[in-house]
Structure 1
Amino acid sequence: MNYVKANDVLPKELIEEIQRYVQGKTLYIPKPKYAYEKWGTCSGAKSFMKERNLSIKSDFKDGISIDELKENYHLSVETIKKIVYTK
């Protein structure tokens, strides 16, 4: 999170209005709801996990055991089961 001085980006009148509510504190102004990114879209984590899970399901259908998948993908048995038994 980047910090920006209010004096550098906000009009004086708006700063004075905000100061009626908060003085000398750090104020966080969140992004508007439409500007939020979904989890994993920026880092690529979501697509990585989707591809990994498809690979795990494919390997399981090809006859690789859950214990082997656990070792190959460095995941717990419970996680492998969640992946292979969900649609």
Structure 2
Amino acid sequence: MNRIVYNVDFASLERNFLRSGVRMKYIKANNIFPEELLKQIQKYVQGELVYIPKPEGVRKKWGENSGHRVYLDQRNSQIREKFLIGLSIDELAEEFCLSIESIKRIVYSK
């Protein structure tokens, strides 16, 4: 059995989380992990905060929780529609308060 050991400075990680204003939900490990697994984890770290990310397929994409992704998709659709009916890139940039490059990226993307 191969073991992967990560060298992590947990103190600086915790300081960065506190500085950024991110608040993570704290759960006691002995309340959720089986005793044998907890003993294995304690071989690597004791008394420190450890972040366990969600699996890739379960993780939500940016903006899904807040609804901002839906807003941007709708806005971009409006921009594409207006471009197709003849508004210029300059007019769209002015109307939507975006740069010309941003409008180009939206109208020329798939």
Class of the TM-score when normalised by the shorter of the 2 chains: 0.7 to 0.9
Name which of 95, 100, 104 aligns with 1:72: 95
Task: Map Cα deviations across residues 15-34 of structure 1 (whole Å, 9 max, x no partner).
Answer: 22211111222111122233
1:82 maps onto 2:82 in alignment: no
TM-score, scaled relative to structure 1: 0.79
Equivalenced residues, count = 87
Q: 1:7 maps to which residue?
A: 30
Q: 2:48 maps to which residue?
A: 25
1:49 maps onto 2:72 in alignment: yes
Sequence identity, in percent? 51
Query: Which range moves more in the overlay, 23-32 or 4-13?
Result: 4-13
Q: Which consecutive segments of 4 or more residues in structure 1 shift more than 3 A?
A: none
Structure with more of its chain in helix, by fraction: 1
Q: 2:16 maps to which residue?
A: none
Q: Give, in whole Å, the separation in 1 of the partners of 2:80 and 2:57.
A: 34
Q: Give, in whole Å, the separation in 1 of the partners of 2:104 and 2:36.
A: 58
Unaligned runs of 5+ in 2: 1-23
Cα distance 1:16–1:52, how it changes in 2: closer, same or farther (>3 A)?
Answer: same
> Given residue 19 of structure 1, which amino acid in structure 2 is its aligned partner?
Q
